[in-house]
Structure 1
Amino acid sequence: MARPEPARSREQREQDALHRLERDTDAWVSTASADGTPALVPLWFVWDGETLLMATRRTNPTAVNLAPDGRAHRTLGHPRDVVMIEATAEVVEGTDLPTASGNAFAAKFSWDPRGRSAWVYLRFTPYAIRAWREFNEQSGRDLMADSHWPA
C-alpha cells in the first residue's frame, strides 16, 4: 500500500473543495424515506457559490424523501478524496426557478428540464462541508460549520 500524500492545509482543502464544486458534474445524494428506507442516487449538479442545483423526476425517491424535512447528504469525489456536504434542500418547480439558475444548469449540461412537468429541481444549501483524502487529514476536515466558512 502506498504511503499517503502529506496532509493539505485547511486553506488548500477549502480551495480543492470549491474547485470540485465548480467543476465536477455529478454528486451522490443520500436521503431516507419517512419509514427509514435509504436512497442513494447520482445526480448532475451546478454550484452557484452558495447552493447546489440538481434536477430529477418528481417521483424519484430522492425528490419524494426531501419533502418532509429537506435534509440530505451529498458526496463528491471518491473514497480517497472526498467532499461530504450536509445541506437543507427544497424542491423547486421549473416555473419557480430563477432564470439565471435554470440557464446555468442548462448551459452546463446542454439539457433543460424546465417546462417538463415530470421534472423538478432540488436546491441544496450546505450547512456543513468536510473534505479529506486519507487518515492524516481526518483532523481539521471541517471546512464549513453552521453554514459559515471559518475565517
Structure 2
Amino acid sequence: MTTSEPPRSREQRKQDVLLRLEKDEDAWVATASAAGEPHLMPLSFVWEQSTLLMCTRRTNPTLRNLESGDRPVQVTLGHTRDVVHITGTAVLVPTPELPSASADAFAAKVVWDPRNSDPSYTFFRVVPQRVQAWREANEIPGRDLMTDGAWLV
C-alpha cells in the first residue's frame, strides 16, 4: 500500500462510512455454509434503521447460508484503497412481513421492487456488530469504528 495523504480521524472515517452506506447501492456479501463452504455475492442494499436491508431469492446460497441464523455475514463496500468491512448477523424478513416503508425505501434506492418479482425473493437485514474502514496502510491503526454493535466514535 502507498501512503499519499495523512490518515483520516476516526470521526471522519465514521462520517465517510455513513455517507457511503447512504449513497452506495451495492456491496459484496460473504457467507459460509454449515460445512464451511464460502459464498460471495454482490447484492443491492439500503441503509435503514441502522441495518443494511438486502434481498435475494430463497434459492440463492447466500440466503440458504443465513437461514440458520447462527453464522456471521461479512459485507464489504468500496475497493481495496477505500474499504468498509461490516461483520454482522442476518435477520431474515419474509417479504409479506417487511413494513411497506422499508420495502419502498429499498425499491426507491435500487430502482427495483422485489415485491413485484418472483415470490421466492426474501429480504434480510444485516445488523452490524463490527465496522472497519481504511484507505491506506496509515489508516490501519484505528480502523475499528464499531465493535460489539456499538460505535467507538
Q: Normalising by structure 2, report the TM-score.
A: 0.93
Alpha-carbon distance, 1:76 to partner: 0.4
Q: Is the 8 A contact 1:26 1:43 kept in 2?
A: yes
* Residues 109/138 of structure 1: CA separation in 2 closer, same or farther (3 Å cut): same
Q: Is the 8 A contact 1:58 1:119 kept in 2?
A: yes
- What is aligned with 1:37? 37
Question: Which amino acid letter does the alignment assign opposite residue 79 of structure 2?
Answer: H
**2:53 maps to 1:53:** yes
Which has the higher mean CA deviation after the structures are superposed, 61-70 or 106-115?
A: 106-115
- What is aligned with 1:119? 121
Alpha-carbon distance, 1:110 to partner: 2.1
* Residues 93/137 of structure 1: CA separation in 2 closer, same or farther (3 Å cut): same
Stretches of structure 2 lacking an aligned partner (at least 5 in a row): none
CA distance in 2, matches of 1:7, 1:77: 17
CA RMSD after TM alignment: 1.4
CA distance in 1, matches of 2:3, 2:149: 34
- What is aligned with 2:13? 13
Alpha-carbon distance, 1:80 to partner: 0.8
- What is aligned with 2:143? 141
Equivalent residues in 2 for 1:75-94, closer than 5 Å: 75-94=76-95
Q: Secondary structure at the match of 1:30?
A: strand
- What is aligned with 1:131? 133
Q: Is the 8 A contact 1:70 1:90 kept in 2?
A: no
CA distance in 2, matches of 1:100, 1:3: 43
CA distance in 1, matches of 2:125, 2:3: 38
Alpha-carbon distance, 1:16 to partner: 0.5
Number of residues of Structure 1 aligned to a counterpart in Structure 2: 151
- What is aligned with 2:65? 65
* Residues 75/9 of structure 1: CA separation in 2 closer, same or farther (3 Å cut): same
Q: Secondary structure at the match of 2:132?
A: strand
1:51-94 Cα distance to aligned partner (Å, 9 max, x none): 00011111000000001215200000001100000111012111
Q: Secondary structure at the match of 1:11?
A: helix
* Residues 120/70 of structure 1: CA separation in 2 closer, same or farther (3 Å cut): farther
Alpha-carbon distance, 1:49 to partner: 4.5
Identity in percent: 57
Q: Is the 8 A contact 2:28 2:40 kept in 1?
A: yes
- What is aligned with 1:74? 75
